[in-house]
Chains A and B, each alone.
Chain A
Amino acid sequence: MFRRASLLLLLSACLGFSSLALAQTSSSAPAAAQAPVTQAQIAALEQSVRTTQAATAAAQSAADNAWMLVSAALVLLMTGPGLALFYGGLVRKKNILGTMMQSFAMMGLVTILWAVVGYSLAFGHGNAFIGGFEHVFLRGVGLAPNTDYAPTIPEQTYMIYQLMFAIITPALITGAFAERMKFSAMAVFLSLWSLLVYSPMAHMVWGVGGFLNATGGHIPSLDFAGGTVVHITSGVSALVTCIYLGKRIGYPHLNMPPHSMVLSFIGACLLWVGWFGFNAGSALGSGPLATSAFINTHFAAAAAALGWTIAEWIHNGKPTALGAISGAVAGLVAITPASGYVQPFSALAIGLIAGVFCSFMVFAVKSRLRYDDSLDAFGVHGAGGTLGALLTGLFATGAINAAFGKNANGSPLPTGAMDGHWSQMLNQLAGVGLAWGISIVGTLVLLFAVDKVIGLRVSPEEESVGLDLSQHGEEGYDLNS
C-alpha cells in the first residue's frame, strides 16, 4: 500500500517536473504557446493527488484494521484459554472442567446475545443510559466505518472487537462463585447480566450520547479500555454474588489450595499478552496512541507484579508464584482505564500502587470480612478497577491524549490532575459510583430472579463430589486411563 502510494507520489512529482521542463523549453522557443502548464496537465496532477490521498487513507485503514483484528483475537485469547486456565488452576482438581466451562460458555452465549441485541444496546443510538434497537441482528452494521466510533475501520471490526470485551466481563465474575454454582443457573444469570449490566455500562461510557462518555457525556469520565465497564462491574458483581451464594462448604477452616499453579501461571501470562489487545486495541487504530497504551500496559503489569511480590515477601517471608501473577493481573486491571491517557512512568506508579493495594485487599480485607470470593475477582478486579479509575483522574495528561479536545492555539485541553484539572477526579468518582450502583442493583435483581426460578447453588453432595462430575459428567484428569 505504501509502496503504491509513494510510486504515485513519484509519478506526480515526475509529471510536475516534466511539465515544468516542458514549460522551460517551450518558453525558450521563439513563437511557442505562453501557458507553461496546460489544463490537461493540471487535471492529471489533481487526479494523481486524489488517487494518492485515497491510497494513503486506504493504507492507514488497512493498518488500523489489521491491528484491530489482531487485538480482537488477543482479547478472545484472554478468555479462552487465558482466564479458563488462570481460574482453572486455582480451584480444586474436581472442579477444573466446571470452571473452564464457565468461561467457555460465555464465549458461545455472549456472542449470540451480542449479535442479536447486545451490540445494539451498547452502541446504538438511544439515551444517556442505554442504546436502542437500531442494530438488532446487526442491522446496519456493515463493512463501512461508523464514524461515531472508529472512522478508519469497518464497523464490523469495531463490533467484533467490542464483543470480546463483552465475553470476558461476565467470565471474570465466575471467579467469585467458583466451585459452587450450577452450570444452568450460571448460564442464565450471566447471559442476562451481560444485557442488563454490561451493555448499559458500555453505553454510558463509550456509546454515543453516553452519560459518562469522555466526548460530550453529561459527566465526562476517562475510561480508555474498560476499568469501569469491565473490571468494576465484574468485580463488584462478583462480591455481591459470593455474599449472596454463601461460602463454599468447609471455608475457611478447610484448606483449599490451587490444584495446579502451573495452569494458573500459563493463564496469567496469556492474560498479560492478551491485554495488549485489550488496552492498545482500545486506541481503535495502529497509530502512536496504540503504542502509548501498549507500553503503559506492560509497565503497569511489571510494576504491580513486583509490588505484590515485595508486599507478600515482607508480610509472609516468602514470595509466592500466586502472588506474583496476581500482582501482574492487578496492575493490568488498574492500568486499563488509564492506558491511553498517561505517561509511561505514571503507568509504573499506577502498577506499583495497584500491586500493593490489591494484595492488601486480598490478604487483610478478605480474611477480616470473611467473604468467600474464591478466586479474588473482587479483590483484584473490583478493587483494582476502582483504584485504577481514580488514578486515571490523577495521572491523565492531554500531552498523551487530547481526550477533551484542543484549545484555539492547538494545545491539548487539560485532562487529569497532572494537567491541573483536579475536578476530573470527581468525574471519575461519579463513574465509579455509577458502576458500583448498577452492578449491585442489577446483580441482586438477577440473582434473586434466577435463584427463584432455577436455583443457583449446587447441592452439598454435588459440591462435595465436584462440578466436573456433577454438572458435566466428566473428569478433568484421568491420568490412569
Chain B
Amino acid sequence: MLKIEAVLQPSKLDAVKDALLDAGIEGMTILEARGHGRQKGHTEFYRGREYTVDLLPKVKIEIVVTDELKEKAIQAIIGAARTGRIGDGKIFVSRVEEAIRIRNDERGETAL
C-alpha cells in the first residue's frame, strides 16, 4: 500500500478530486495548507508599506492506494493539476505499513 500526498494549488482541488474519482479512487483526505517551493509570494500593502507574503495558500490531498493503482493515481493528479507554471505543486509517495477500517476491523488492502 502506498500513500500519495499531493500539494496543489487550491484552484485545482475540484479538478483533481474528480480525476481521482474517475480513476476509481474514492477515499481521500483533504487538508488546507500554506507553503511555497520556488514560487515567489505576492506583495500586499499595509499603511503604505509593501511587504511580501511568503506563505501561500495550498491544498494537500492524501490518498492511500494499492501498489497497482499507483501510476493511475499519479497520472490522474498530474493530468488535472498541471498548468506548466511554477506553483503547480508536488507529489510524494511513501509506503504504508497498515490500513484498518474502524467500522469492522478489516485490515490490509480490503480496508482501503
Is there a chain A Cβ closer than 8 Å to B45's Cβ? yes
Number of interface residues of A (CB under 8 A): 17
A229-283 contacts to B, CB under 8 A, are: 255-258
Question: Is the CB–CB distance between A367 and B45 below 8 Å?
Answer: no
Question: Is the CB–CB distance between B51 and A322 below 8 Å?
Answer: no
Q: Tell me the number of A-to-B contacts counted with CB atoms below 8 Å.
A: 26
Is there a chain A Cβ closer than 8 Å to B47's Cβ? yes
Of the candidates B45, B47, B48, the one having the most CB atoms from chain A within 10 angstroms of its own CB is B47
A292-329 contacts to B, CB under 8 A, are: 312, 315-316, 318, 320, 322
Question: Is the CB–CB distance between A376 and B46 below 8 Å?
Answer: no
Residues in B neighbouring A359, C-beta threshold 8 A: 48
Question: Is the CB–CB distance between B46 and A257 below 8 Å?
Answer: yes
User: Closest chain B residue to A256 by CB distance?
Assistant: B46
Instruction: Describe A's contact surface by its main secondary structure.
Output: helix
B42-87 contacts to A, CB under 8 A, are: 44-51
Residues in B neighbouring A45, C-beta threshold 8 A: none
Give Cα distance in the complex from A255 to B42, angstroms: 14
Give Cα distance in the complex from A255 to B45, angstroms: 10
Shortest distance from the beta carbon of B91 to any chain A beta carbon, whole Å: 29
Is there a chain B Cβ closer than 8 Å to A23's Cβ? no
Question: Is the CB–CB distance between B48 and A316 below 8 Å?
Answer: yes
Question: Is the CB–CB distance between B46 and A322 below 8 Å?
Answer: yes
Question: Is the CB–CB distance between B46 and A362 below 8 Å?
Answer: no
Shortest distance from the beta carbon of B42 to any chain A beta carbon, whole Å: 12
Give Cα distance in the complex from A362 to B48, angstroms: 8
- List 26 A–B pairs whose Cβ atoms lie within 8 Å, in order of A's numbering: A255-B46, A255-B51, A256-B46, A257-B44, A257-B46, A257-B51, A258-B46, A312-B48, A315-B48, A316-B45, A316-B48, A316-B50, A318-B45, A320-B45, A322-B46, A322-B47, A359-B48, A362-B47, A362-B48, A363-B47, A363-B48, A364-B48, A366-B47, A367-B48, A367-B49, A376-B47
Q: Which residues of A contact B (CB under 8 A)?
A: 255-258, 312, 315-316, 318, 320, 322, 359, 362-364, 366-367, 376
Known: A257-B44, A258-B46, A363-B48. 7 other contacts (CB 8 A): A255-B46, A256-B46, A257-B51, A316-B48, A320-B45, A362-B47, A366-B47
